[in-house]
Amino acid sequence: MASTAAAARTELAVKKKSKNRSPLYQGWKRFKRHRLAVIGLVWVSLFFIAGVIGPWVAPYDYRVGDFLAINQGPSLKHIFGTDNVGHDMFSQILYSVRSALIIALGATLVSFVIGIVLGLWAGLRGGIADVIIMRAVDFMMTLPGFLFALILVILLGRGYWSLILAIGIPGWAGYARLVRSLVLGMRNGEMVEAATALGASQAHIARRYMLPNVVGSMGVALAFGIPGDLVQIAGLSIFGMGLQPPIPSFGNMIAQASDNILGFPWLLYFPAGIFALTLLSFLFVADGLQEAFSPKGGN
């Protein structure tokens, strides 16, 4: 008996107690090795910070135009220039970041919650519930999501809430399908069989065993989802179906500026450039997350 204990001790390579051994920390260590992902993360963080503190740091009110300084190029006073009614472009962009983030995060959350609930339900219950939910998923997937959102905006109006719902509701199907496939994979796996053998109830298994693993794998899907929603928001604005002016948004700015691209190119360059960089950054981050947290991401 003593010999087995001694044996195990030599076998042991476990370091002392600390938090840094969680799968999350291990993933972060792997994430850090991807340079583009880290650069992307820095930009995304700046974007978030700008969204939060924007109203306090913006040098001008987004509603007020300076009629004495319309269509000015970048200067010390207006570093990104001004538009045709004298709005400071830098302030406009700061406010746009805020509105874009509110809608994108809200919409992603809406899709995510609906998707997880329905996906878990379909995967765990199976049977008729599964069939109905999966047919609904198929239906949603064949529908062009953008068109669906457009119709919803027309029905719901052009406010924050309606945009969140219009973009969020059509987006659940992909998440639901992912969750369902994860759940099905686990349901027939040994981990769930082991928990069942312990005497765990279905609810306990769903909560303690499946959900943490589902959410873990969903992080990546989420990181891919946000830029998708950002594009939808901008798209709706370009169609004139985004946020009601004067609330600034990337889509509005880009749409307006493209009318005047020859005369005042900075009006397009700055918002479009920042928007494109943001999308790219999100994708880099998502890519990095995927590699860091994929099951094969070990040593």
Residues forming contacts to another protein in the complex (CB under 8 A) are 1, 3-14, 16-18, 21-23, 26, 29-30, 33, 189-191, 193-201, 204, 208-209, 212-213, 216, 298-299
Q: How far is the CB of 2 from another protein (least distance, A)?
A: 9
Nearest to 111 by CA among 223, 241, 222: 222
Residue number, 66 or 291, with CB nearest to another protein: 291
CB closer to another protein out of 157 and 212: 212
Phi then psi for residue 88, to 5 deg, are -75, 120
First-to-final CA distance of the chain: 34
Q: Minimum Å distance from CB 153 to another protein?
A: 39
Nearest CB to another protein, comparing residues 25 and 161 = 25
Q: Which is nearer to another protein, 235 or 297 (CB)?
A: 297
Minimum distance from CB of 175 to another protein (Å)? Answer: 19
Contacts of 99 (CB under 8 A, 6+ apart): 160, 243, 247, 248, 249
Q: How far apart are CA 256 and CA 188, in angstroms?
A: 54
List, in sequence order, every residue forming a beta bridge with 88; answer none if it has no partner: 82
Q: How far is CA 176 from each of CA 97, 159, 248, 269, rounded to the nearest angstrom?
A: 28, 27, 33, 38
Task: Give whole-number Cα distances, 297 to 30, 35, 225, 290, 294, in Å.
Answer: 8, 16, 22, 9, 5
Q: Cβ 22 to another protein, closest distance in Å?
A: 7
Cβ proximity to another protein, 76 vs 197, nearer residue? 197
Minimum distance of another protein from residue 218's CB (angstroms): 13
